[in-house]
Structure 1
C-alpha cells in the first residue's frame, strides 16, 4: 500500500467500498446456499488469505492500532471471526507508538500491507511486515500447536518477535516452497523475489522479476504455487490486479492483466483490488479482495476463479460483466463462527481480539475483571488524539449501533470520559467533570490535518444536564454506507441515558468520505485527564448491534 494514491484511485473511487470468549454472547453464523458481498462489512484491508487443512486464515493491516495485524478465521471463506493479532504490541516499533505528544506519535504509520503463512516443517505461523517509520521488516512467529494434524485449528496463539531485517520488504508476500525454502515477494513498480535463510532473518538472494515502469503502479504482491507454476499476483493500485507466472521462483515471468476496472457489488465505492488467491480442499480457487468504501474503510469482497485451457486464472463475473453481488458458497460445512453482534461485559481475563487500542496501551492503567474494564486516566493531555488507552472497535456496516454502560463514580476534576466516533475527524458523547460538577456533553471538531497533527482539540457543541449519578449509558448510531462522490455524506447520532431504557439524542456528526487516513471510522471508549492522574471509569458492558 502506497503513501499516496495515483490518479487511478480517483477514477476508481468514483466508480460506484486466541482469547477467552466467556465475556461475549455471540450469535453463530449459519450457512446459506449462496453468499452476498461484502463478506464482512468492516474495515479489513491489505488482505492476505491462506488455508491450513479446513481452516482459512485472513491477515490484515492496522497501522498504529495495537495489538496489530489481526488474524481472522473461517471455515467457508465467507463467515469470519477474529482470533488473534500477529503483533502483540506496536511498542516494538518505537517510542512514537506510545503517544508521547503532538510531535511524537505514529498515526498512519505502523502495520501496512503484510503477509502471514503456516510452515508445516516446524509447525509455526509466520507474519512479516515492513513497518512504516522504521524502514525495517519485522518477523513474528507463533507455534501452530499441531495445526497441520488438527485440520488447521490453533486455539492458543502466542506470538513472538523473532527479529528484524534492515530492509523494507514493502507490501510483501511470504511463501514456503515444497522443499521448505522461504521466499518473499515485495516492492512497488519493481517487483522482487527474495530467498531468505531458514530462520527468515537473512537475505540469500534477491532478483527483480518485473519492472512495471512509470505508467503502471504495481504493489502488494503475493506468491503462490499451483498447476506447475509460481504465481506472483500484485495489485494495480486502486483498480485491479495483474498476474505473473513462471516455472521457477526467480523467473522469467510471463505477465497478464488479471482484471481491471470491474464494476463492483457496492455502489459509491471503488474497484475490487489487492488481496489474494486461496484454494479449497477440493481444488477450487477464489479471490478475496477489498473495495475502497469510505466512510466504512476498505472492506472484503469474494469471487470464484476459473482457469483457462492454458492455465491462466480469471474472476467469475456476473451477468453484467462485473464483480458479483452474490455467488454460491465456496465450501459446504456445518462449522460456524461467532457473528458480529456481541455483548461484552469485559469479565474475561483478556480482551477479545475484536478490540484494538489507539497506539500502544499503558498496561498499568487498565484492568479486566468482575467490575468490567477499568480505564484509569493514563495521560494528562488536551485532546483525544493524544489520550493514552483509548480502546477502539471496528464499525460494522452498512449501519450499526454501539452501546456502552459506564460507571463514572471514580472520575476526578478535569477528567473527560465517554464514547467516540474515531478517525482524523472525531466526535464524542461523554461526561466532563470540573469544579462545577459533572456534565453530559457532545463534543465535535476534534480534527487533524493531513500531516496528522491536531489542529482542533474539540468544541462542546451541545450539553445535557449536570448529573450526580454514578452510572450512564452512551449510544452511537453510525451509518457507514459507502459514499464516494456523495455530499452530504453519512451521519452518526449520539445518545445518552441515565437508566439504560430512556434515551435522549445530544448530537449528530457527519462522517466524511476521504481515504487519506486509510482506516475507516471506528467506535471508541476513552478516559483521559486534563488536570491530574488518578481518576477512573468502569466500562460495565459494550453491545454491538446491526441497525
Structure 2
C-alpha cells in the first residue's frame, strides 16, 4: 500500500521530536510523572516505529519523588551532531515550583545516556537546540517577556548560546518572537532550523487544548529580527470544530528525508463518546512542501488526515509485539512504566518464574506517590485487557488487581480484597473527583482469579472468572469518560495496569500475575 494511517504512535505519546542520522530516524516524546522517562523510537520509513529504550532509565537521571500528576518531564527535543545524540527537556517540579532545564547525551540512541547536565538561568519550558554551520550551538525556550505580559499567558521565545565544553549557557539572551497570533497565548515548544540560508522558528501557540496550533517565522540572522509567515497558523484544527475526529493539533517538529522530502511530526488527540480524550495527546505525521521560502503543511488541505500518502522511503516493518506478556523475560518490556521513580524492590520476574510478582506497598493508587504498580498506555478506542492473579488478602486494607488510571483521583480499580465479613471479594471501584463508588462486588473463593476489562468506546465492562474461560460479568456500561483528561484535567493519557497495595498499611504480602494481555478490538 502507498498510504499510512495516523496516528503513527497511538496512545499517550505527546510532544514528539525527531532527528535523522543517515537512513535512520529517531523520535522521543514526553512522559510527565511516568518512569522510565522519554521513550526513544527508531524508524527507517517515518511510519513504522520500534521502541529501543528510554532516555531516562536510571534514578540518577530522573528523580520523580513528590512530583504531582501531570508534572515531571515536558517536551523533549532530540538532536544529533558529530557522533553525539542530545536530548534536552524540562523537569517541572510542581504546579507552582521550579521549571528546570537539562540535557543528556549518548553516542548510541538506545543508550546508555549521560546523567543530566542542569542549565543555570534557563527560564521557561520546552527547550530545543540548533547546531549551526559555524559550530555554534543555540538554545531556545520560552519565557515571560522581559517587558511583562500584555495578556494572560503571553510568552516569548528566547535564544542563548550553549557552551558544550562548560555545559552551560553563555553570552546574552535574545528575545526572538512572541508569536503570530496575538491574544491567543502560550507561545511555546520552539524548534529552530537553518534551511537554505534562513533561520526558521517553528512554535506552538494557543495552549495544548482545542485552540492548539503551529506557527512559523524566519530571519536571515539567528538573533533576529524574525518575520512572521503571513499564512500563520500553518497547521491547526480549531476551525474544524470539536466534532472532527482529530483535534488539538500542534507542537510540531520538522524533518527532511534523505530523498529531499519534508515531513512534520505533531501532536493531536482522538476524542470519542463526545469531546473526551482518554488517550491523551498522540503522535501524528503530515507532509510539508516549501513554497516561496515558507513551509506549507499538507498542500491543498492544510490538515492532518487519517490516511495519507506514505513518505518516499523503503518500507521497513518491525516484528509486532505480542498482545500477551507472559512475564517470561528477565526484565520488563519497554512498554511497561511505573508511576514516579520506583523505590524499593516491589516487583520481581524471578521469584516465581513466568509471573510478575508485585509486593504490597503502603502507597495506594489514590495518592501522588510511587505505588506498587506497572502499567501500559491505552492505545485503542475499543480494547480488551485480561490478566490472572493469585492473591490472598491478609487484612481489610490489602488489595490487588487491574486498574484503568487517568490519575490518582480518576480511575477504575478491578480489585481483589476482603469484605466487611472477612470474605474474599472481587469488586469494581470507580473513583471520580476523589470520591469512590463500588459499582459491583462478588464473593469469590481463594485461589487464582481471572480478570477481564473491556472498553467499547466509552462503555466499560468488567468480567471475572475463577476458572479459565468461565467469565461472569460483574459490571457493564460503566462510564469511560471518567478516564478522560477533559474530566480529570492534566496532560496525560489513560494507563491500564496491575497493582498491589496495603492502602496505608505495611505488609509482607504479594500478588502474582501470570500474564497480562492487551488487545485492540
TM class by shorter chain equals 0.7 to 0.9
Q: Deviation digits for residues 444-477 of structure 1, max 9, x if unmatched?
A: 1x234xxxxxx32x332211232211x2222222
Does residue 442 of structure 2 align to residue 464 of structure 1? yes
1-side partners of 2:496 and 2:183: how far apart? Answer: 39
Q: Contact 2:444/2:466 (CA < 8 Å) preserved in 1?
A: no
CA change 1:43–1:126 in 2 (3 A) is: closer
Corresponding position of 1:493: 461
Structure 1 residues 346 and 183, CA, compared in 2 at 3 Å: closer, same or farther?
farther
State the SS of the aligned residue for 1:396: coil
More displaced 10-residue stretch of structure 1: 497-506 or 260-269: 260-269
2:116 alignment partner in structure 1: 161
In the other structure, the counterpart of 1:447 is 432
Tell me which residue corresponds to 1:9: none
The answer (yes or no) to whether the contact 1:116–1:128 under 8 Å persists in 2 is no
Spell out, residue by residue over 1:357-409, the C-alpha distance to the aligned partner (whole angstroms, 9 max, x if none).
11221232112232422110122558465561321211112322222222325
Q: Aligned residue for 1:292?
A: 269
Q: 1:214 to 1:128 in 2, by over 3 A?
A: same
Counterpart position of 1:83: 52
CA distance in 2, matches of 1:91, 1:379: 24
Match of 1:503 among 466, 471, 479: 471
**Residues 423 and 137 from structure 1, CA distance in 2 versus in 1: closer, same or farther, beyond 3 angstroms?**
same
Residue correspondence of structure 1 range 140-155 to structure 2 within 5 A: 140-145=103-108, 154-155=109-110
Deviation per CA, 1:325-362: give whole Å up to 9, x if none: 32211143253224465322223232222111112212
Secondary structure (helix, strand or coil) at the match of 1:423 reads strand
With normalisation by structure 2, the TM-score equals 0.84
Q: What residue in structure 2 maps to residue 252 of structure 1? A: 225
> What's the counterpart of residue 178 of structure 1?
133
For the residues of structure 1 that align with 2:393 and 2:24, how far apart are their CA atoms? 45
Residues 1:380 and 1:128: Cα distance change in structure 2 (over 3 Å) = closer
Spell out the pairing of 1:308-327 with structure 2 (5 A cutoff).
308=291, 310-317=292-299, 322-327=303-308
2: CA distance, partners of 1:385 / 1:418? 19
SS of 1:167's partner is coil
Deviation per residue, 1:279-336 (Å, 9 max, x gap): 111110011111133022112221111111x221101246x65433322111432532
Whether 1:194 and 2:139 are equivalent positions in the alignment is: no
How has the CA–CA distance of structure 1 residues 142 and 355 changed in structure 2, closer, same or farther, with 3 Å as cutoff?
farther
Classify 1:53/1:459 alpha carbon distance in 2 versus 1 (closer, same or farther; 3 Å): same
* Equivalent residue in structure 2 for 1:125, among 70, 73, 86: 86
Q: Count residues in correspondence.
A: 480
Cα distance 1:244–1:275, how it changes in 2: closer, same or farther (>3 A)? Answer: same
2:393 and 2:417 in contact (8 A); partners too: no
* Distance in 2 separating the partners of 1:276 and 1:44: 14
d(CA) in 1 for partners of 2:90 and 2:296? 28
Which residue does 2:273 correspond to in 1?
none
1:267 & 1:543 partners in 2: Cα distance?
A: 31
Show structure 1 runs of 5+ residues with no match. 1-31, 99-103, 146-153, 449-454, 481-489
After the TM superposition, list the runs of 4 or more consecutive aligned residues in structure 1 that deviate by more than 6 angstroms: none
- SS of aligned partner of 2:221: coil
- Partners of 1:331 and 1:165 in 2: how far apart? 42
Q: Does the 8 Å CA contact 2:8/2:48 hold for their aligned counterparts? A: yes
Paired position in structure 1 for 2:360: 377
Q: Give the corresponding residue for 1:477.
A: 454
Q: Distance in 1 between matches of 2:493 and 2:512?
A: 27
Q: Any conservation in 2 of the 1:84–1:157 contact (CA below 8 Å)?
A: no
CA distance, structure 1, for counterparts of residue 242 and residue 319 of structure 2: 25
Q: Distance in 2 between matches of 1:258 and 1:341?
A: 41
Identify unmatched segments of 5+ residues in structure 2. Answer: 144-154, 271-276
CA contact (8 A) 1:49 1:275 kept: no
- Selected match of 2:508 from 528, 531, 534: 534
Is contact 1:304-1:315 (8 Å) kept?
A: yes
TM value normalised by structure 1: 0.80
What RMSD in Å do the two structures reach over aligned CA positions?
A: 2.7
Alignment match of 2:212 (pick from 229, 233, 239): 239
Q: Judge conservation of contact 2:73–2:89 (CA < 8 Å) in 1.
A: no
